[in-house]
């Protein structure tokens, strides 16, 4: 049997990037032959094995033939007669269909190296359309390699659009969509993922709440980019620059969903969009089965981001109410994550990309001074039951008020 390094490890090695995971294809072997050599079988749908020492994945060369809808309707042939070229042909993009033999000689039957050099993401064959998950995968690769100048080939975009029109994406399951989405959110340019999905029509299938934001105007004074969809992509880009945290990036993505529900007759004003956004955020999170920690931060971001932007105008009692509602006492990191997301929101506007955003520092100080209030001292003074909480809020409000008096108000931005 012959063993070849394949896929992403070959691609990233040729790009000069760090190779983290290695996948191998075995040609001319059987399942029993692999087991006899000590490999551990882990694949259910097709033969995949773990190396007995390195634990890297080794898969028997295989072909796949479509026999149903979605990404699961395939017949797999992993017999000994399957060649390396046949195995590579079933893959999605030319740049992912290269292999190296044990002497590190490149095997490139579908011109992946040429597309790598020209920075093109191109599908290998019409069989690409048999797996709708590949629409999301291509968009994710575009987000990963955007900083290197990669673009999706025109014919691949046309095929992706056709797959959407044919309803193929309707057959995906939520867990797979979220897995691709969460990975895309953590790429260097996550906004590219959603922009490409919008371009091929896929955004309206799984992300209708996001898709409807394009074309909704904002006040030009505060949003020179005007369009809410454009603004959202700019915020996500800023969030990616500020943090690697998935929940922050997700909150940035969905923070303005409420603007899709405001009265068009009142545009570009969006009064009340903060609380209006909670229902569509919950709807998207439920549809994709988004983890609770991501949804929780997203909901808080929607409800309070305007408060944070106006931090220096807020009354001490309003700030305390926000701290209570955010449960900042027990979850200070989540509160800080909300402030980070607000900074991304403030910077995600044309001409505002480098503002200092003093609001975040100020509101962290309000939490700090409020936390210094000693509840044991209140108990020692004889307060009991509900009166302890009333007195605690009173003292915390006073501490915030003192900080406010001693804090200079920066120019509005």
Full pLDDT tens readout for the chain, 413 residues: 899 999 999 999 999 999 988 999 999 999 999 999 999 999 777 789 999 999 999 999 999 877 665 555 667 888 999 999 999 999 999 999 999 999 999 999 999 999 999 999 999 999 999 999 999 999 999 999 999 999 999 999 999 999 999 999 999 999 999 999 999 999 999 999 999 999 999 999 999 999 999 999 999 999 999 999 999 999 999 999 999 999 999 999 999 999 999 999 999 999 999 999 999 999 999 999 999 999 999 999 999 999 999 999 999 999 999 999 999 999 999 999 999 999 999 999 999 999 999 999 999 999 999 999 999 999 998 999 999 999 999 999 999 999 999 999 887 76
Query: Does 92 share its domain with 229?
Result: no
What sign for the dihedral angle of Cα 23, 27, 29, 30?
Answer: positive
Tokens of 55: 């634990």
Query: Does 218 share its domain with 361?
Result: yes
The answer to whether residue 42 is domain-embedded is yes
CB 280 within 8 A of CB 302: no
**HEC states along 71-88?**
CCCEEEECCCCCCHHHHH
Query: Does 337 share its domain with 212?
Result: yes
The answer to whether residue 171 is domain-embedded is no
Domain of 214, CATH number, reads 1.10.3210
d(Cα 31, Cα 40) in Å, to the nearest integer?
10
What is the domain range of residue 105? 1-116
Query: Does 104 share its domain with 216?
Result: no
Last residue of one domain, picked from the residues 51, 83, 116? 116
Question: How high is the pLDDT of residue 128?
Answer: 94
Query: Does 336 share its domain with 225?
Result: yes
Angle between helices 332-347 and 292-309 (to 10 degrees): 60
13, 241, 323, 386, 395 from 304: Cα distances, Å: 45, 22, 10, 27, 23
By 3-state DSSP, what share of the chain in percent is helix, strand and coil, each rounded to 5? 55, 10, 35
Domain of 101, CATH number, reads 3.30.460.10
Query: Does 91 share its domain with 218?
Result: no
d(Cα 182, Cα 186) in Å, to the nearest integer?
7
Last residue of one domain, picked from the residues 67, 84, 116? 116
Half-sphere exposure for 90 (CA within 13 Å, toward CB): 18
Question: How high is the pLDDT of residue 283?
Answer: 98
Question: How high is the pLDDT of residue 68?
Answer: 62
Instruction: Please give the tally of structural domains in the chain.
Output: 2
Question: How high is the pLDDT of residue 260?
Answer: 98
The answer to whether residue 214 is domain-embedded is yes
Other CB atoms within 10 Å distance of the CB of residue 15: 15
The answer to whether residue 55 is domain-embedded is yes
The answer to whether residue 286 is domain-embedded is yes
The answer to whether residue 393 is domain-embedded is no
Question: How high is the pLDDT of residue 20?
Answer: 84
Query: Does 237 share its domain with 355?
Result: yes
Provide the total of helices (H) and of strands (E) in the chain, helices listed first.
20, 11
Query: Does 67 share its domain with 213?
Result: no
Angle at 235 between CA 352 and CA 265, to 5 degrees: 90
The answer to whether residue 270 is domain-embedded is yes
Tokens of 20: 């983290």
The answer to whether residue 288 is domain-embedded is yes
Question: How high is the pLDDT of residue 75?
Answer: 79
Q: Which pTM does this prediction carry? A: 0.93
Last residue of one domain, picked from the residues 86, 116, 146? 116
d(Cα 27, Cα 31) in Å, to the nearest integer?
11
């Amino acid at each position: 049997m012959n063993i070849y390094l394949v896929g992403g490890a070959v691609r990233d090695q040729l790009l000069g990037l760090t190779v983290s995971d290695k996948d191998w294809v075995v040609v001319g072997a059987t399942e029993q032959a692999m087991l006899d050599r000590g490999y551990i079988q882990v694949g259910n749908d097709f033969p995949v094995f773990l190396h007995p020492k390195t634990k890297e994945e080794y898969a028997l060369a295989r072909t796949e033939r479509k026999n149903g809808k979605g990404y699961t309707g395939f017949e797999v042939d992993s017999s000994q007669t399957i060649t390396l070229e046949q195995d590579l042909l079933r893959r999605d993009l030319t740049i992912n269909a290269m292999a190296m033999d044990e002497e590190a000689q490149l095997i490139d039957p579908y011109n992946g190296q040429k597309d790598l050099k020209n920075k093109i993401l191109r599908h290998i064959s019409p069989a690409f359309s048999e797996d709708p998950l590949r629409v999301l995968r291509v968009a994710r690769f575009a987000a990963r390699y955007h900083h290197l100048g990669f673009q999706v080939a025109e014919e691949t975009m046309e095929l992706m659009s056709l797959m959407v029109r044919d309803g193929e994406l309707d057959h995906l399951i939520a867990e797979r969509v979220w897995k691709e989405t969460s990975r895309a959110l953590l790429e260097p340019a996550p906004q590219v993922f959603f922009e490409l999905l919008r371009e091929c029509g896929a955004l309206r299938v799984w992300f209708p709440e996001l898709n409807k934001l394009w074309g909704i105007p904002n006040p030009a004074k505060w949003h020179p980019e005007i369009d809410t969809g454009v603004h959202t992509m700019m915020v996500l880009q800023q969030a990616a620059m500020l943090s690697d945290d998935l929940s922050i990036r997700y909150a940035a993505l969905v923070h303005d969903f409420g603007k899709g529900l405001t009265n068009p007759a009142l545009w570009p004003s969006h009064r009340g969009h903060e609380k209006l956004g909670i229902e569509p955020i919950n709807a998207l999170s439920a549809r994709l089965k988004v983890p609770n920690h991501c949804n929780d931060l997203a909901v808080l971001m929607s409800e309070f981001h305007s408060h944070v932007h106006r931090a220096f105008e807020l009354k001490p009692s309003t700030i305390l109410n926000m701290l209570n509602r955010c449960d900042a006492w027990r979850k200070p990191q989540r509160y800080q994550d909300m402030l980070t997301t607000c900074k991304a929101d403030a910077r995600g506007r044309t001409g505002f990309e480098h503002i200092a955003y003093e609001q975040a520092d100020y509101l962290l100080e309000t939490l700090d001074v409020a936390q210094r209030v000693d509840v044991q001292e209140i108990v020692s003074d004889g307060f009991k039951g509900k009166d302890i909480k009333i007195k605690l809020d009173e003292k915390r409000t006073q501490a915030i008020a003192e900080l406010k008096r001693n804090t200079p108000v920066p120019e509005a931005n």
